[in-house]
Amino acid sequence: MLIACIEIFLYMKILIIEDEENLLHLTKSELEKEGYKVDFSTTLKGAIDKIITTSYDCILLDIMLPDGNGLQVLKTLKNLDKDDNVIILSAKDSIDDKITGLDLGADDYLAKPYHIAELSARIKSINRRKNPSNKSGCFGNVCILNTEKKVLINNKEISLKKKEFEILEFFCNRINRLIDKDKLAEFVWGEDFDSMGNYDFLYTQMKNLRKKLKDSDASLELKSVYGLGYKLIEKENESSI
Ligand code: CA
């Protein structure tokens, strides 16, 4: 899955929440040069609107915003049950902010002024920590044989198309994580996705894959989370969803 891992890195989506325009545009253009897709907001309200509708691989979060405290973003993510990576970027050299931020689920903290190279290294490190490379393994009665590109359910091989295999492998390495459909589409189809203009092909692949899992009595189920994306769950955990 080397190609897939590179793809997921190349299309990583970043949200910069920052009201200092110069710093915002400098950070944005430097990260874009490195191949990230970058959204931004200069206000707390704008940021919260974005995190409700989109999942980001990494959110760069300033604390002192014109319309409120950036820590509110972490509380909102928690309420939404989202696990976007967050790096707090703050000039305010306050140990309280740092501790509160990490308590609220931030992954890292970088004091301003920062070097873009260090910021980029932190983004990559968090992403590696949270998205381990896909690996072979059994998840309930579903076994992924990565090298052979085969899937066994109850020890019987099931027939999957190439994209279906990639999708299943992707989810098996992210069990119980909500994956939004943009992220999934970018992972599976890369840049081609933008030119397709709609999600029909994605829905078709997901429908076929879900049917194959069900027909083979898989102990895993791909749940659709309305308006947000999909989650692979173990069936016995269904009641906790
Ligand atoms: Ca600020």
CATH of the domain at 62: 3.40.50.2300
- CA 64 / ligand 1 centre spacing (Å): 4
The CATH number linked to 203 is 1.10.10.10
Distance CA 32, CA 194 (A): 17
Share above pLDDT 70 across residues of the chain, in percent, rounded to a whole number: 85
Provide the pLDDT for residue 240: 44
Residue 131 reports pLDDT greater than 80: no
Distance 80 CA to ligand 1 centre (A): 24
CA 65 to ligand 1 centroid distance, Å: 5
Residue 219, pLDDT above cutoff 80: yes
pLDDT of residue 92: 58
The more confident residue out of 43 and 146 is 43
Q: 190 is in which domain, residue-wise?
A: 137-237
Same domain, 37 and 79: yes
Number of domains in the chain: 2
Percent of all residues in the chain with a pLDDT value above 90, rounded to a whole number: 42
Indicate the residue among 81, 100, 130 that finishes a domain.
130
Residues 55 and 169 reside in one and the same domain: no
Gap from CA of 46 to ligand 1 centroid (Å) = 14
**Which range, 75-89, 134-148, 187-201, is most confident?**
75-89
In the reported structure, the alpha carbon of residue 233 is separated from the centroid of ligand 1 by a whole-number distance in angstroms of 39
- For residue 235, what are the CA distances in angstroms to 151, 157, 219? 18, 20, 6
User: Is the C-alpha dihedral spanning 54, 188, 106, 23 positive or negative?
Assistant: negative
Q: Name the pairing type of β-strands 179-180 and 220-225.
A: unpaired
Q: Are 84 and 105 in contact (CB under 8 A)?
A: no
Measured in Å, residue 19 CA sits from the centre of ligand 1 at: 5
Q: What is the mean pLDDT of residues 67-76?
A: 95
Q: Which of 74, 34, 84, 32 is nearest to 228 (CA)?
A: 84
Q: How far is the CA of 178 from the centre of ligand 1 (A)?
A: 30
pLDDT band at 8 (very low <50, low <70, confident <90, very high): very low
Question: 198 is written with which tokens?
Answer: 């709609």
pLDDT category at 239 given cuts 50, 70, 90 is: very low
Cα of 42 vs centre of ligand 1, distance in Å, is 9
Here the tokens at position 42 are: 């200069």
Higher pLDDT, 193 or 70: 70
CA 177 – CA 118 distance, rounded (Å): 28
Which pLDDT score is estimated for 162? 85
Per-residue pLDDT, 194: 62
| Distance (Å) from CA 126 to ligand 1 centroid | 23
- Average pLDDT of the chain, as a whole number: 84
Instruction: Give the separation between CA 74 and CA 162, rounded to whole angstroms.
Output: 37
Which residue do the tokens 């078709």 mark? 204
Q: Of 85, 114, 130, which closes a domain? A: 130
Report how far ligand 1's centroid is from the alpha carbon of 93 (Å).
Answer: 12
If DSSP codes are grouped into helix, strand and coil, which group holds residue 142?
Answer: strand
Give the Å distance between the CA of 27 and the centre of ligand 1: 14
Task: Specify whether 16 is located in the same domain as 91.
Answer: yes
Q: SS3 of 149, please?
A: coil
Mean pLDDT of 55-78: 94
For residue 122, report the distance from its CA to the centre of ligand 1, in Å: 20
241 CA distance to ligand 1 centroid (A)?
Answer: 37
Residue 79 Cα to ligand 1 middle (Å): 24
Domain boundary among 130, 147, 162: 130
Instruction: Estimate the share of the chain in helix, then strand, then coil, as percent rounded to the nearest 5.
Output: 45, 25, 30
Q: Which residues contact 42 (CB under 8 A, 6 or more apart)?
A: 17, 18, 19, 21, 24, 65, 66
Scored b (16 or more CB within 10 A) or e, 98-109 reads bebbeebebbbb
